[in-house]
Structure 1
Amino acid sequence: MDLHPTIGALPVPANLLGESPLWHPQEQVLYWCDIPGRQLHRFDPASQQHQQWQFHTEVACCAARAQSGLLLALRDGLWHFNPTDDSRTQVSAAPYPQATERYNDGKVDAQGRFWSGTIHEPRDTPSASLYRWADGQLQRAAGDITVSNGLAWSPSGRTLYWADTPAHVIYACDFDAQQGSLSHRRPFARFTPRDPAKDLAHYGGRPDGATVDAEGCYWVAMFEGGCLQRFTPQGELLQILPLPVRCPTMPCFGGPDLRTLFITTSREKRPAQELADMPLSGQVLHLRVAVPGLATHFVNSP
Structure 2
Amino acid sequence: MTLGDASRWQALTAEPDGLSESPFWHPTEQRLYWVDIPGRRIARVAVQGLQAQGPVDYWPLTQEPGCIAPVQGGGLVMALRDGIYLGREWGGDLQLLAAAPYDTTRLRFNDGKCDAQGRFWAGSLYEPKDQALGVLYMLDGQGLHAMMDGVVTANGLAWSPDGRTAYWADTAAHQVRAFDSEPATGQLSAPRVFHQMTPKPAGWSWGDHSPYGGRPDGATVDSEGCYWSAQYEGQRLLRVSPAGEVLAEVKTPVPCPTMPCFGGPDLKTLFITTSRQGRSPQELAQYPAAGCVFAMRVAVAGLPVNGFEAF
Q: 1:29 aligns with which of 12, 24, 31?
A: 31
Task: Tell me the equivalent position of 1:122.
Answer: 128
Residue 238 (1) aligns with residue 247 (2): yes
Name segments (4+ residues, structure 1) moved above 6 Å. Answer: none
5 Å matches for 1:2-81?
2-4=3-5, 6-46=8-48, 47-81=53-87
C-alpha separation in 1, matches of 2:98 and 2:194: 32
Task: Tell me the equivalent position of 2:257.
Answer: 248
Q: Secondary structure at the match of 1:87?
A: coil
Q: Secondary structure at the match of 2:258?
A: strand
- Structure 1 runs not aligned, ≥5 long: none
5 Å matches for 1:258-269?
258-269=267-278
Q: For residue 112 of structure 1, report the CA deviation from its aligned partner.
A: 0.7
Q: For residue 197 of structure 1, report the CA deviation from its aligned partner.
A: 4.4
TM-score (norm 1): 0.97
Q: Deviation per CA, 1:165-222, whole angstroms, max 9, x where unpaired?
A: 0001000100001111100010000011111244445111000000000111100000
Q: Secondary structure at the match of 1:166?
A: coil
What amino acid maps onto 1:23 in structure 2? W
Task: Tell me the equivalent position of 1:196.
Answer: 202
Of 135-144 and 147-156, deviating more is 135-144
The two structures, once aligned, show a CA RMSD in angstroms of 1.4
Q: For residue 231 of structure 1, report the CA deviation from its aligned partner.
A: 0.5
C-alpha separation in 2, matches of 1:159 and 1:40: 29
What amino acid maps onto 2:264 in structure 1? G
Residue pair 2:4, 2:251 contacting (<8 A) in 1 also: no
Residue 138 (1) aligns with residue 144 (2): yes
Q: Secondary structure at the match of 1:233?
A: coil
Residue 165 (1) aligns with residue 167 (2): no
Q: Deviation per CA, 1:235-271, whole angstroms, max 9, x where unpaired?
A: 0001111112111100000111101111000000100
Of 216-225 and 41-50, deviating more is 41-50
- Structure 2 runs not aligned, ≥5 long: none
State the percentage of identical aligned residues.
47
C-alpha separation in 1, matches of 2:291 and 2:37: 12
Residue pair 2:85, 2:95 contacting (<8 A) in 1 also: yes
Task: Tell me the equivalent position of 1:221.
Answer: 230
Paired residues, what number? 302
What amino acid maps onto 2:135 in structure 1? S
Of 9-18 and 114-123, deviating more is 9-18
Residue pair 1:63, 1:70 contacting (<8 A) in 2 also: yes
Q: 1:113 aligns with which of 113, 119, 144?
A: 119
Residue pair 2:63, 2:80 contacting (<8 A) in 1 also: yes
Residue pair 1:2, 1:289 contacting (<8 A) in 2 also: no
Q: Deviation per CA, 1:119-155, whole angstroms, max 9, x where unpaired?
A: 0111111111000001151111111111100000001
